[in-house]
Structures are given as C-alpha cells and as structure tokens.
Amino acid sequence: MTYCIGLNLDEGLVLASDSRTNAGVDHVRRAGKMRVFAETGAYVVVTLSAGNLSLTQNVLNLIEHRDRHEPATPGIRNAQSMFQVAQAIGDAMREIRARDEAYLRDSGIDPSGTFIVGGQIRGEPPRLFLVYSEGNFIESTPETPFFQTGEIKFGKPILDRVVTRQTDLVTATKCTLVSFDSTIRSNLSVGTPIDLAVYRRDSLQLEIQQRFEDEDAYLRSIRERWNDSLREAVAALPAPPWAPGNAPR
C-alpha cells in the first residue's frame, strides 16, 4: 500500500508520496510514486500513484511513449489544460486495465490504482485532480482543497483541522509531513522515503522538490516536536469531572 497527498492552495500546490510497495517482517520494497513532467515557462505536472504498481507504472509509461512517438495523441506534454492531463491518465488507466485486469485477477492480484494529478499549464490556474481506477476523475474545490489516496485515515485529522484554501505553503508542508509521520507510525504499509514537491502559483517551474529519508534531520525534528506538542496539549486539557479535586461539593 502507499500514502499520497495533494493540496491545491491559493499560493500553489503541495504534493507528497511515500515509497513503500510491500511490507512484512522480512519483505520490504521501495519504489517512488511521484513523477514530474515539466518545461519551464510552459507547464509543471506532478503525478502521485497508489495501488497496483504495474498498473500505475504502465499507465505513465504508455502516456510517455505516446508523448514521444504519437504527438497527435492527447498526453501530458501536449495538453492544453490540466483537464486534458487528467483525461489522458484516465483513458490510459482504462486501456491498461482492459489489457491486464483478467490476468491479474486470475492470479489473485488486485488490478486497481489511483492517481493524484496536480500542476499548472500556462494560461490557466493551478489545478488538482483525483483519477480513480475506473478512469473517471474529480477536481479539487475551494471547499475541498486536498486529496489523499492509499492509507488515508491516520493522516487525515491534521489536514481536516488545519488546512484550508488560504493556508500558506510553509504551514501546508508542515501539516503534510505530520500527516505522513502519523500514518507511518500507525501503519506498516507506509514508509520512508517521502517525496515532496512544492509548487508556487504561476511560477511555471518546480523550485522545491525533496526526498526525506527516515533519518533526515528536519523530518526527525518534525516527528519529535509533534510528539512533544501532543503530550503537552493532552496534559493541558481540563480534567474530567470525576478526577480528584473536581468532584462536586
């Protein structure tokens, strides 16, 4: 399994994914789930994938192949809008599933996958889409400015409580890393390294792209400060009525 987050904010986009594909006592593998397509001044597109790795890799490889060898076919590099990017990924998802799904199911393998797709193409604002396994997709809104895929439940509370469309990129990045740390702590199927991309609105270049290994100093400081802050916050909460000194007189 995996965990991916995409946020579409007034200042720009924050996108992040983990890199764990298998988890067990003696079997842990890593593969990056983030892929970047960019041409400075023209477009920046970032994809995050969750689910069956062969499916999601084949979807992107098919699109890249067509970008290079079939320029008349809608893809990523020749897209006129982020809607067309999401549509191309959805169409490729259907094509790969139609080819492989029966064989995967015969072997007891789940053939599903999802994509978070965020970016900006010159001439339109930054946009964020969630592409489902069936090839259909939805777009983020001011009321729902972020998407998650994979193991979403452990890392969702911090996003729900803090992130709005007006949240600045620095705060959103901290919330994203806390969300990942909470998920990694509670779920063995999600793990480092964490790939992070931060895109500033209208820059049309990806200035911030970073990979956090488990012992990264900044990631470790986020983990430790968050743990300490939670303990302090719990200790500062009012005691229940039945606690010593709070009993009614």
* DSSP letter, residue 141: -
> 52: which 2 tokens?
């069956």
- The residues, any chain, with a CB within 8 Å of residue 28's CB and separated by 6 or more, are 20, 22, 191
User: What pLDDT score does 248 carry?
Assistant: 60
Q: Are 3 and 18 in contact (CB under 8 A)?
A: yes
Q: Are 116 and 48 in contact (CB under 8 A)?
A: yes
Q: Tokens 């609105």 sit at which residue?
A: 201
In terms of residues, how long is the chain? 249
CA distance 195 to 177: 10
Q: Average pLDDT of each block of 10 consecutive residues along the chain (249 residues)?
A: 93 93 52 92 97 94 92 89 97 96 93 96 98 97 96 94 98 98 88 95 97 94 96 95 77
Q: Are 29 and 22 in contact (CB under 8 A)?
A: yes
pTM of the model: 0.92
User: What pLDDT score does 26 carry?
Assistant: 47
User: What pLDDT score does 30 carry?
Assistant: 61
Show the 3-state SS of 87-131: HHHHHHHHHHHHHHHHHHHHCCCCCCEEEEEEEEECCCCCEEEEE
Ordered domains of the chain (ranges, CATH): 3-233 (3.60.20.10)
CA distance 181 to 214: 10
CA distance 55 to 97: 7
User: What pLDDT score does 1 carry?
Assistant: 66
Give the containing element (helix H, strand E) for 170.
helix 169-186
Share of the chain residues as helix, strand and coil, in percent rounded to the nearest 5: 35, 25, 40
Burial 144-163 (b: 16+ CB within 10 A, else e): ebbbbbbbbebbbebbeeeb
